[in-house]
Amino acid sequence: MDEGAETEDRRVEAWFEHRDPETGAPERFVERRRGDRRRSAKRLVEAPPSSDPDPTVSLVIPTKNEARNVPEVLDHIPDLVTEVVIVDTRSSDVTKLMARTTRPGVRIIDEPRRGKGMALRAGLAAATGDVIVAMDADGSMSPEEIPRFVHPLRHGFDFTKGSRFMAGGGSLDITPIRHFGNWALVVIVNTLFKVHYTDLCYGFFALRRVFLESLDLKATGFEIETEITLQAQLKGLRIAEVPSIELPRRTGTSALHAGSDGVRIARTIMRQYRLSHEPEPAAVSNQ
């Protein structure tokens, strides 16, 4: 085969149409990489893209001393959320009481071990919905945006991450030092993993629960958000970014320390990068 034909062949081969196995209807185009094959191409759990118009949705909210903020968040949860799971780490205020009063059906889990990562992992494991959405309790994320995160999961995607830095997003909460740190970490991730994210350290995301078990999550602190994104990437989940507006925390102060947590996030990136170079395990069918 001459060189021109080979190039043409590669171009034709670069995309293929994914069809519904039952109806044969075209669903979406999927990129096929040859040569520099995407390391994340293989999913540990093979599940077809979901087109369920009405999935059950669990909302997981980690709380630590958010009594003044949590009622406002719980008051604005849209109807599509079918379950709310609060994971509380030894709040010394009345966070749990306020949560129960505002939303009597709320599930409250006590996670004695400190750290947002610990709390989120416990909440993800306890959630029962087809889709799990995670968000903070401090009023910096608007529950009204939740449908925006669920939408892509009903249309071919497996993981939705919020972005404050794509068109339509924004942040009124982020400090200059955090902004710079987040930008630097995004550049590192995009370079190492050959992706095009616009945000990284943001705790508003949604996941199809069928993939939860395949994500190897070990983070205990604020590096959990990065770990989930990179694990989703590594396990070949179909990832969408949606714009999100981060508001100022309503009351109280953030528990994040830009320096030490930045180092933890950088370590998490390096660990995931090393994992991405290990041989891929065999796929397991879950259909």
- Residues of this chain that bind ligand GDP (CB under 6 A): 62-64, 66, 87-89, 111, 114-116, 119, 136-138, 140, 222, 249, 254-256
Residue 153 vs 219, nearer CB to Mg ion: 219
* # binding residues, Mg ion (CB under 5 A): 3
The length of the chain in residues reads 287
138 binds Mg ion (CB under 5 A): yes
Distance of alpha carbon 279 from alpha carbon 102, whole angstroms = 49
Say if CB 199 and CB 166 are below 8 A apart.
yes
225 binds Mg ion (CB under 5 A): no
Rounded to the nearest 10 degrees, the angle between the axes of helix 116-126 and helix 224-234 is 50
Residue 89 vs 214, nearer CB to ligand GDP: 89
In the DSSP assignment, the letter for residue 249 is: P
Reading the block at residue 7, the tokens are 């190039």
Smallest distance from ligand GDP to CB 116, Å: 4
Among 140, 163, 182, 231, binds Mg ion (CB under 5 A): 140
The listed partner (Mg ion, ligand GDP, none) that binds 204, CB under 5 to 8 Å by sort, is none
Q: Which residues from 243-262 bind Mg ion, rule CB under 5 A?
A: 249
How does 139-168 read in b/e, with b if 16+ C-beta sit within 10 Å? Answer: bbbbbebbebbbebbbebbbbbbbbbbeee
Reading the block at residue 182, the tokens are 């987040």
Smallest distance from ligand GDP to CB 285, Å: 35
Contact footprint for Mg ion (CB under 5 A): 138, 140, 249
